[in-house]
Chain A
Amino acid sequence: MVLLHLVALLIGALSSSDSEIPDLGGERSVQVAAPQDSAGVAVLVHGEEESGHLDPSQIRRIFLLRQRFWSDGTPVAPVNLPAASPLRETFSRLVLGQSARDLAEYWKDLYFHGTQPPPVLDSEEAVLLYVTRTRGGIGYVSLSFLSRVSLPSSVRVVGEWGGGDGQS
């Protein structure tokens, strides 16, 4: 029975989908390129959600899935960049107030309660498209990316951090 259990453990560990399981590997979760000093991040929301500026504590609650509804009752739909993205580390540090490594522990605990982290999109272009099309959507892009694109009318910027000026 013990041998069967051990085999099942190994098969289970090595076969399930990577994207759903928080990384248990501690420091390996932050083996990413260091963010550039000039890196800044902007948070975008679908235009119908909330009004004005969102403070960091509210954005933190949203991305940690502690706030799951906008004030009008619409479900919040946050989206992340990949764990290895330097912009994600910048966002974690500047806006969420914790490193990706420390947040990995948080997601690991929540997985045990039936909660998976926000879905991941591969690029800033994909994040912009997602927020444009998704009611309740919220995501983040770099300030440099933001300066290069023309935002559709359904997307609003609700906060900017970094870029040498801190929050703006």
Chain B
Amino acid sequence: MGLDSPETQQRLEKFRGAPMDGQSLKRLVEAGLTWLRTNQQMVNALNVFPVPDGDTGTNMVLTMQSAYNEINDLGHRDVGEMTAAISQGALMGARGNSGVILSQLWRGFSRGLQGQEVLDGPGLVRAFAEARDTAYKGVVRPVEGTILTVAKDIAAATEAGLSSVQDPIELLALAVKAAEASVERTPDLLPVLKQAGVVDAGGMGLFFILEGMLRHIYGEPLDTPLASVQPLSAMNLESAMEEVEEGQDYEVVVDFYPQGTLDLKTFYGKLESMGTSIQVGEGEGMYRMHIHVPLENRYQPIDYIMGLGTITKVAMENLIAQMDEIDQKAKGDYFELANVEPGQIAVVTVSPGAGLSRIFASLGVAAIVEGGQTMNPSTQEILAAFENLPTDKMIILPNNKNILMAANQAKEVTVKKVSVIPSRTIPQGLAAMLAFNPDDELEPVAEKMNKSLGLVQSGEITIATRSVEIDGVMVEKGQVIALLDGKLVLSAKTVEKAVLGLLKKAEAADHELITLFFGEDLSNADANQIADKVRKAYPGQEIEVQDGGQPHYQFILSVE
């Protein structure tokens, strides 16, 4: 879509017509995060300095995610308050070197907008300048050719532009242009980048965040990476399956050897006219192209590539036919597990549902074994999950008392150094993950995780499968029962009553945070209805609702 297209112009009019308030800024931050995430692998691949561990993109995404989580459900606020919240969220979630710098940039940015209701040109310029100043204050000897330089160039370009441009959107466009040029220059400033033949990863990440904001304003897609070639091994064709939409009926994958050099810009441009979800990978001279196209276009990419070189393989799949199947699987079965480097600690956890797996993955779990109540995984399954990880320091979170034994056996059998954290419930496992640090030594980490088990109370809501009396509680088959830390505490006629009764037993009023993970038997709407009742009953507590996707248990609750 060109900048001059009527659609883009219309969008621009809309953005210019309304003052840029906190809510608009929130959407820009979301767009920046989305675009950064789309290009995350590319940023990771750039990482050489100062530690070549390939996770700058991931660290920046996690930091931005934390920033966005902080504002996600904030209602109407002015930009000053909104950026203060963003800054707070970024600080709390700052991961790695680039994440810390990013959080400082946000801190300065928010300082520049303090007390401001809407974002105007001079405010934005002040914010960029403060971001630069704050970021530079955090280091004795700033290394140029990094994200710091990019922040500096953005501030300089927008400051210079302010004399002729007042519109914040045009200034943002200036910032994006300056960031791009600055990133391109980083190898000239930092020899180690030149040696490796890359640009600075952190600077690139910052560019993507700003560009994502601008792309959102222009109405450009945020889910297709920029014209870039990734290593074949980094292509993630599975995840692309999740994004199937109307008009993307066929997935076409073509392997080919181009004649001469491939002009990526033209290549992408042509492909974009045919379909979406474009990915291009390269390995030893062979290219792999992946695209989603509508039915009538399904042969176009093949014909086009035929003219560019020699095709070695074509794969085509009808995505619509697979859609139902995908729908059946919990929405978003896909999640990204933590990447483990040799020497780091990897966590293997047992999770009963897709949603919970995703939450565990977001907390840094490296491998997940499916299982839980009534579906205990074997020692073998647990072993298989971690034997291939490239580290010898492992932590296992069984999250169920019946799986503890299998986990301990896995520890006996393997040559790796394993610590089993005896988590008996999902909330305990999650609490333990919050204390996890992959870069520390095994014993202190395990000790910290062990300690955090006691910080949370776990509740479970399920249906009684038979009539019984335990611990003085009478239960009839089919009734809803509630367990607190594994002990049966009450039975009730409805899930809602069971949840409220359980929270009372857990003395939730004396705690701060109640998290409800709803299971596969409950719909989103049902879960939210109950959550609303909980909110009413506990106005002083923070209530979170998450799609856990676990079977058998209508709810798993955590009170902390």
Specify whether A and B are partners: no
Which of A's residues lie within 8 Å of B, judged by CB? none
